[in-house]
């Protein structure tokens, strides 16, 4: 059997980390959507550097709501999807609506927040344009309070009532080989009229999505590893890797893998006007504080959040992480780089908002496996 041809329309694209993971698994980008000018700039620049063309229907720098509220934009997207459906076996939507309003560390504004309502907008777009499948990515905070969980459950019910069978999981990037403790909710849906009956369990639940098949590690495996704790900070000091620690899940492994010292973004890091001596007092591996967190070279990183209230320090250098190092922690290919003409704050925001590349790739492989198996039936 020939390999399935699967096309995707990407929404809330950001710099394209999620898209890259799906592209690596053979999903063909047909259109991307991003309203933030800096994110869009990185998307275009990084693809040019990697030798990747823009999607067939381009990068649309506008709000997702425009495709629902403006008739001309709605008609255009319907036309693009209809045209693509004649050339592809499946055409789907992939997107991760902005999530700070659901973040555990955020203000918990939820669906009423500045960005929280965009999750509903994305679901409305799925119901309006009826792609063959969709992927919805968001933070674990959607599950952590009764109010947020009720909102998430309502989103799932809405797509099910619109004719989709769904399944979802809370996944950790560590399980896919990312040296970062980052959990994400992944919701997957397929239109029931595109499925064989055996793929649907009950009325609207997808059966046998192979969530674990592409995971390199499990929570049990990672939890039993005797990770190193803390060591006194020594500038450029040497520290041998414990034999029991899997190297590929460590910060140092990714720094070396991505050649961060010679990467084009190697010198992109904040130089403090004050507080340098305070930084030096934090042990390597002391990530217990809310603000300063010094990474351990032979351990994975906390969630890559690089805002003003959370400062990640280099394991053995007296400074904050560089852009190149942050990209490595997001498991991006070493050829991925950010443009020199956006601010440092914008660069770190871009990185922190993205989905780790290997998590995206693992999720894409999972869904392709499911669709391929369905196509064989």
Instruction: Give the CATH number of the domain where residue 184 resides.
Output: 3.40.50.150
Q: Cβ–Cβ contacts within 10 Å for residue 360, how many?
A: 32
User: Please, where are the H alpha helices in 90-205?
Assistant: 118-129, 146-161
C-alpha to C-alpha distances, 28 to 190, 220, 222, nearest whole angstrom: 17, 35, 33
Whether residue 338 is contained in a domain is answered as no
Whether residue 37 is contained in a domain is answered as yes
Q: Is residue 44 part of a domain?
A: yes
Helices (H), the chain: 17-24, 37-50, 66-69, 71-85, 118-129, 146-161, 219-223, 251-257, 276-280, 323-329, 344-353, 357-376
Per-position b or e across 199-210, b if 16+ CB within 10 A of its CB: beeeebebeebe
Q: Is residue 334 part of a domain?
A: no
3-state secondary structure (DSSP) of residue 339: coil
Q: Which residues have CB under 8 Å from 144's CB, separation 6+?
A: 104
- Is 313 inside a domain boundary? no
Dihedral angle of Cα 199, 201, 204, 205, to the nearest 10 degrees: -80
Q: Looking at the DSSP assignment, which residues form a beta bridge with residue 90?
A: 6
Q: Name the active-site residue from 25, 80, 99, 204.
A: 99
Asked if residue 125 belongs to a domain, the reply is: yes
Residue 149 to residues 102, 144, 145, Cα–Cα distance (Å): 10, 7, 6
* Backbone Cα Rg of the chain: 21
Q: CB–CB of 70/109 below 8 Å?
A: no
Q: Domain range spanning residue 370?
A: 6-217+356-376
- Structural domains of the chain, count: 1
Calpha distance 288→160 (Å, rounded): 41
The predicted pLDDT at position 221 comes to 86
Give the span between the Cα atoms of 30 and 76, in whole angstroms: 13
pLDDT of residue 64: 96
* Cross-strand partners of 27: 6
Distance CA 128, CA 160 (A): 13
pLDDT tens, per residue, the chain with 377 residues? 468 999 999 999 999 999 999 999 999 999 999 999 999 999 999 999 999 999 999 999 999 999 999 999 999 999 999 999 999 999 999 999 986 544 555 554 544 556 568 999 999 999 999 999 999 999 999 998 898 999 999 999 999 999 999 999 999 999 999 999 999 999 999 999 999 877 888 889 998 899 999 998 777 889 899 999 999 999 999 999 999 999 999 999 999 999 999 999 999 999 887 777 888 899 999 999 888 999 999 999 999 988 767 899 999 999 999 999 999 999 999 999 999 999 999 999 999 999 999 999 999 999 999 999 876 54
- What phi and psi, each to the nearest 5 degrees, are found at residue 330? -85, 5
> How far is 14 from 40, CA to CA, in rounded Å?
7
Number of DSSP helices (H) and strands (E) in the chain, helices first: 12, 11
Concerning whether 25 is annotated as a catalytic residue, the answer is no
Entry pTM: 0.94
Residue 238 lies in a domain: no
Identify whether the C-beta of residue 113 lies closer than 8 Å to the C-beta of residue 101.
Answer: yes
Q: Is the distance from CB of 170 to CB of 187 less than 8 angstroms?
A: no
Specify if 263 maps to a domain.
Answer: no
Which residue has tokens 């620690």?
A: 245
Give the three-state DSSP class for 129.
helix
Check residue 310 and give its pLDDT.
86
Is the Cβ–Cβ distance between 125 and 11 less than 8 Å?
A: yes
């Amino acid at each position: 059997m020939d390999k399935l041809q699967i096309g995707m329309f990407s929404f809330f694209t950001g710099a394209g980390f999620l898209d890259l993971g799906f592209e690596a698994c053979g999903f063909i980008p047909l259109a991307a959507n991003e309203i933030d000018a800096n994110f869009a700039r990185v998307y275009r620049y990084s693809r040019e550097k990697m030798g990747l063309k823009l999607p067939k229907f381009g990068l649309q720098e506008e709000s997702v709501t425009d495709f629902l509220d403006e008739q001309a934009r709605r008609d255009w997207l319907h036309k693009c999807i209809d045209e693509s459906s004649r050339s592809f076996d499946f055409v789907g939507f992939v997107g991760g609506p902005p999530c700070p309003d659901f973040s555990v560390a955020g203000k918990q504004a939820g669906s009423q927040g500045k960005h929280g309502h965009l999750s509903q907008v994305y679901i409305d777009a799925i119901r309006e344009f009826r792609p063959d499948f969709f992927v919805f990515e968001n933070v674990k905070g959607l599950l952590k309070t009764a109010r947020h969980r009720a909102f998430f459950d309502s989103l799932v019910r809405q797509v099910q009532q619109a004719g989709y069978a769904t399944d979802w999981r809370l996944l950790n990037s560590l399980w896919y080989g990312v040296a970062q403790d980052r959990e994400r909710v992944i919701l997957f849906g397929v239109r029931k009229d595109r499925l064989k009956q055996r793929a649907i369990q009950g009325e609207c639940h997808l059966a046998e999505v192979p969530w674990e098949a592409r995971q390199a590690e499990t929570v049990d495996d990672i939890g039993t590893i005797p990770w190193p704790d803390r060591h006194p900070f020594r500038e450029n000091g040497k520290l041998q890797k414990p034999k029991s620690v899997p190297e590929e899940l460590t910060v140092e492994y990714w720094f070396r893998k991505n050649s961060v010292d010679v990467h084009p973004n190697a010198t992109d890091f904040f130089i403090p006007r004050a507080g340098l001596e305070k930084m030096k007092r934090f042990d390597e591996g002391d990530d217990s504080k809310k603000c300063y967190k010094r990474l351990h070279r032979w351990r994975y990183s906390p969630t890559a959040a690089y805002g003003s209230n959370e400062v990640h320090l280099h394991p053995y250098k007296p400074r904050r992480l560089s852009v190149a190092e942050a990209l490595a922690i997001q498991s991006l290919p070493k050829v991925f780089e950010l443009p020199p003409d956006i601010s440092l704050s914008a660069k770190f925001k871009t990185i922190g908002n993205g989905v780790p590349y290997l998590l995206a790739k693992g999720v894409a492989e999972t869904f392709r496996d499911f669709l391929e198996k369905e196509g064989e039936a």
